[in-house]
Amino acid sequence: CFIAFGKSRTALLNELKGEFKKANIVPAVKSRASEFKKWERSLKDYLRGRATLKLPLDPRGTVFQLAVWKYLRSIPSGSVKSYKNVAAGIGQPSAARAVARACATNRISIAIPCHRVVREGGELGGYRWGLDGKKALLSVESAGNSAKSKTLT
């Protein structure tokens, strides 16, 4: 339900607490440690360009946000789409700004790849964790999928 980038464990914990204000945040129980390590390995392998990210997801959002996030997961790794393309892809061609907002509120970065959405002219646009992070993720995907070319359709 939450994946984020941060400069420190404390910063990440504070962001997690900010996102889930009423949650009781506790360390994972030991009986789930091997499962968590598996997810951690999957994330690390993805960030090294070695694998496709495979994690169990539990996204929470509005019907519109869920439609956007589902569409984002269909964009092939190493490819990008514009906010307008995403809006059209979910059947709401005039909702490009709302698509951008859905991307901005995505709590499951990387797994729901909002970094694959760019402005109409191909500029990167915004990213919750900064443009350097967006560039790095797109670079990892391009390197991991060198047989595929980036497309903006």
User: Among the options 95, 114, 138, 140, which is catalytic?
Assistant: 114
* SS3 (DSSP) at 64: helix
Q: Which of 53, 85, 96, 58 is nearest to 151 (CA)?
A: 85
Residue 5 sits at φ, ψ, to 5 deg, of -105, 145
Q: Is 1 a catalytic residue?
A: no
Q: Which helix (H) or strand (E) holds 82?
A: strand 81-82
* SS3 (DSSP) at 117: strand
Residues carrying an active site annotation: 114
